[in-house]
Amino acid sequence: MSVADIGIAGVVPGEIAGVRHGVEHGVKRDGERRDDVRGVERDVTHDVTRDVTRDVADGPADPAAVPDALFVPRAAAVADHDAADVPHLSHAVQAWLRLRHNKTAIAAAIVLVSLFVVAFSAPVLAPADPNAQKVEYANLPPYWFSDAAEQYRLIGAQNQHFVLGTDQFGRDLLSRLLYGTRISLTISLVAAVLDIAIGVTWGLVSGLASRRVDDLMQRVLEIISGVPSLIVVVLMLLVFQPGLVSIIVAMAITFWITMARVVRGQTLQIRSLEYVQAAIVLGTPRAAIAVRHVLPNILNLIIIRLMFSIPTAIFFETFLSFIGVGMKIPNASIGTLLNDGFKVVRIYPYQMWIPAAVLCVIMLSFNLCADGLRDVLDPKMRG
Partner 1 sequence: MRRWLTFIGSRLVMMAVTMLIIVTVTFFLMHALPGTPYNNQALLSNDQLVQLNKKYGFDKPLLLQYLAYLGGILHGDFGISLQFSDQPVTTLMATRIGPSIQLGLQAVVLGTVLGVLLGALAAANQNTWIDRFCSSIAILGRSVPNYVVAVIVQSIFAISLRLLPVGLWDQGFRSTILPTLALSIAPLADAARFIRTEMIDVLTSDYIELARAKGMSEPMIVVRHALRNSLIPLITVIGPMIAGLMTGSLVIETIFSVPGIGEQFTKSILSNDYYTIMAVTIWYSAVLVEVVFLMDVLYQIADPRVRIVGKEGE
Partner 2 sequence: MVRLTPPSPHATQHTSARRRAFGVIASVAAIVMALSACGSGGTSTNAANANGANGSSSRTTLKWEASGEVTTMDSGKTYDTISGEAVGFFAEPLYRQDSNGDVTPALAKSLPKVSEDGLTVDVTLRDGLKFSDGSPLTASDVVYGVRRVVDPATGSQSAKNLNYIKNATEITAGKLPVDQLGIKAVSDTQVRFTLTSPNPYITQLLTDTLLSPVKQSFVEEKGKNYALNADSLLATGPYKLADWNGTNVNWKYVKNPNYWNAKNVHFKEIDVSVVKDAASKVNLFESGQIDGVHITGDYIKQYQGKKELVTVPSLRATNLELGISSNKNLQNLNLRKALSLAIDRKQLASAILNGEATPAVGVIPNGIAKNPENGKSIAEDWGNLAPTDKDKAKTLFKKALSELGTSSVKFRLVTSDDDQSKKIGQYLQAQLQDTLPGLTIDVASVPSSVRFEEMMSYKFDLALGGWSGTWDPTSYVQQHETSYEHNHSQWKSEELTELVNDLNTKDGTDFKLRWQHLKEANQYLIDNQVVIPLVQASNSYLVNPNLTGYVTSSLGGTIDPALAKFN
User: Which helix (DSSP H) or strand (DSSP E) does residue 269 occupy?
Assistant: helix 244-271
Q: Yes or no: say if 188 and 170 are a contact pair by the CB < 8 Å rule.
A: no
Number of DSSP helices (H) and strands (E) in the chain, helices first = 14, 0
Q: How far is the CB of 109 from partner 2 (least distance, A)?
A: 11
Lay out the site mask for partner 2 across 155-174 (x = CB under 8 A, - = otherwise). -------------xx-----
142-166: b (≥16 Cβ within 10 Å) or e: bbeeeebeebbeeeebeebebebbb
**N- to C-terminal Cα separation, the chain:** 38
User: Which helix (DSSP H) or strand (DSSP E) does residue 302 occupy?
Assistant: helix 295-322
Candidate residues 56, 223, 281, 282; the one interacting with partner 1 per rule CB under 8 A: 223
| Residues 310-329 contacting partner 1, CB under 8 A | 311, 315, 318-319, 322-323
- Applying CB under 8 A, does 345 fall inside the site for partner 2? yes
Nearer to partner 2, 143 or 353 (CB): 353
DSSP 43: P
| Residues 23-42 contacting partner 1, CB under 8 A | 23-25, 27-28, 32
User: Which helix (DSSP H) or strand (DSSP E) does residue 362 occupy?
Assistant: helix 350-377
| Residues 303-342 contacting partner 2, CB under 8 A | 324-325, 328-330
Nearer to partner 1, 231 or 245 (CB): 231
Q: Yes or no: say if 191 and 272 are a contact pair by the CB < 8 Å rule.
A: no
CA distances from 229 to 95, 240, 252, 315, 316 (A): 37, 16, 11, 15, 11
Q: How far is the CB of 140 from partner 1 (least distance, A)?
A: 22
Distance CA 184, CA 318 (A): 8
Q: Which stretch binds partner 2 (CB under 8 A): 74-82, 130-138, 248-256, 290-298?
A: 130-138
Nearer to partner 2, 302 or 368 (CB): 368
Distance CA 48, CA 67 (A): 19
Nearer to partner 1, 80 or 215 (CB): 215
Q: Yes or no: say if 259 and 203 are a contact pair by the CB < 8 Å rule.
A: yes
- Applying CB under 8 A, does 14 fall inside the site for partner 2? no
- Applying CB under 8 A, does 234 fall inside the site for partner 1? yes
107 binds, among partner 2, partner 1, none (CB under 5 to 8 A by kind): partner 2
Nearer to partner 1, 25 or 98 (CB): 25
- Applying CB under 8 A, does 4 fall inside the site for partner 1? yes
Residue 135 φ/ψ region, left for φ over 0, alpha for ψ in the -120 to 50 degree band, beta for the rest: alpha
Where do runs of H (alpha helix) occur along the chain? 30-33, 91-100, 103-120, 122-125, 148-154, 173-208, 211-226, 229-239, 244-271, 274-281, 286-289, 295-322, 334-343, 350-377
Q: How far is the CB of 71 from partner 1 (least distance, A)?
A: 37
CA 272 from centre of chain:
27
| Residues 59-78 contacting partner 2, CB under 8 A | none
| Residues 205-244 contacting partner 2, CB under 8 A | 238, 241-242
348 binds, among partner 2, partner 1, none (CB under 5 to 8 A by kind): partner 2
Neighbours of 130 (CB within 10 A): 21
Binding site for partner 1 (CB under 8 A): 2-5, 7-14, 17, 20-25, 27-28, 32, 210-211, 219, 222-223, 225-228, 230-232, 234-235, 238-239, 311, 315, 318-319, 322-323, 338, 342, 345-346, 352, 356, 359-360, 363-364, 367-368, 371, 380-381, 383
Binding site for partner 2 (CB under 8 A): 98, 101-104, 107-108, 131-133, 135-136, 138-139, 168-169, 238, 241-242, 324-325, 328-330, 343-350, 353-354, 356-357, 360-361, 364, 368, 375, 383
